[in-house]
Amino acid sequence: MNELKEFRRNTPAMTDNAATAAKARLMTAIHEPEAVRKPAASGTRRFGWRIAVAAALALVVGGTVVTLRDQPDMAPVASVAELGERAASAAENDPTPAPGPAQWLYTKELQLAGIEADVDRDRRATWERWTSVDGKQSAWYQGGKLMFQGSAVFNPAEMAKAPVSPAGVIARIKAAILDEDRRGPQELKGHVPPVMLFMEINQIISEQWLAPEVRAALFRALPTIKGITMTEDVPVADGRRGVAFSLDDDGARQSLVLDPQTFRYLGTNSTRLQDRTYERADGSKEIFKAGTVSLTSQLEAMIVNQPGQRS
C-alpha cells in the first residue's frame, strides 16, 4: 500500500513539498504489518497507528523546546492486570469537570520519529490538535490556517451508552472497525487483529475526551487483548519515563505509556526489535535497524471553547 496516498487522502490542502517530507517521516514511523495499513473509506473514520500519521502531520507545525523534568521513583506494578486496574481507578477518580457539548479538547504533542540508537532531542516537532467533545470534528493549523475534517475517533456518546464494561467497549470498537472494513478494502475478513485494536484504543485515549467510566473500561480492557504485556521504565519524547501497556508485533514493540504515579497518559513509544527492509515504489530499498524508535509525549490536554484556542 502507498502510505503517502493514504496520508494525503486524509489530510486536505497539503503541498507537494510537505507530502514528500511526510512520506519520509511516515516510512520511518510506521511499524505495523501490511494488514493494518489499509486505506480509509471516503467520508469514514480514519483507523491507523497514530504515531505514524501524527508524526507526519507534525512536519507542517514546526519544532519546540521542552525542558525535561525531574520524576519521582516509579510505583511498582506487579502485572498488566494491575496496571489496567490502577489506570482505571485513576480515571474513575479524576476530579476534572465534564465539558459542555459544544467544547473542544486541545492536545499538544511532542514527537521524535525514526531515531536510531540514542535519541537526538534536537530532532523534534510538535503537533497540536483540537477534537470536538461530540467526536464529530477535528482541527489543526497548517500554513497558518485552521484546517477541519471529520473526526478520526469514535463518537464518545456511543462509547458511553450503558452498560459500559471492558467487554462492551471492545465489542463496539471491533464492530466499528469491521463496519469500515466492509465499506472499504475488506481485508480483515471479520477478524480484528490485536495490534489494530491496540492502536485504535491508543488513538481514542490520546485524542478524544472520554467520560471517566469509558476511559476506565478501556484501561481494564487492555490487559484482555491477546499479547498485551506490561513494560516498565519506558521513555517518551520529552524524557519522562513511565509504565506501559505493550504489544510486540511484526518485529516492533508498540507501547502506550502512563505516568507511574498518577497513571495518566504520557505518550507512546514504538521500538523496532528487528531489522526491516522497506521497498519504495521505484524499487529502491531502505533498511530500518533494530533499535529505531518513534516517540511521542502529550504536553497539554485541556478543554477549550473553540478550535484554535490554547488556554
Rg for the chain, CA atoms, rounded: 18
Separation CA 258–CA 252 (nearest Å): 19
Separation CA 66–CA 256 (nearest Å): 21
pLDDT at 183: 85
Query: Using the 8-state DSSP alphabet, how is residue 211 labeled?
Result: -
pLDDT at 288: 77
Question: Residues 6 or more apart from 20 whose CB is under 8 A from it?
Answer: none
Average pLDDT over every residue of 232-244: 95
pLDDT at 69: 41
Strands (E), 120-240: 125-132, 137-142, 145-150, 229-235
pLDDT at 75: 57
Q: Is the pLDDT of residue 47 over 80?
A: no
Residues 278-295 pLDDT 10s: 788 888 887 778 888 889
Q: What is the rounded average pLDDT for all residues in the chain?
A: 78
User: If pLDDT is split at 50, 70 and 90, which confidence band does 123 have?
Assistant: low
Which position has the higher pLDDT, 10 or 180?
Answer: 180
pLDDT at 57: 33
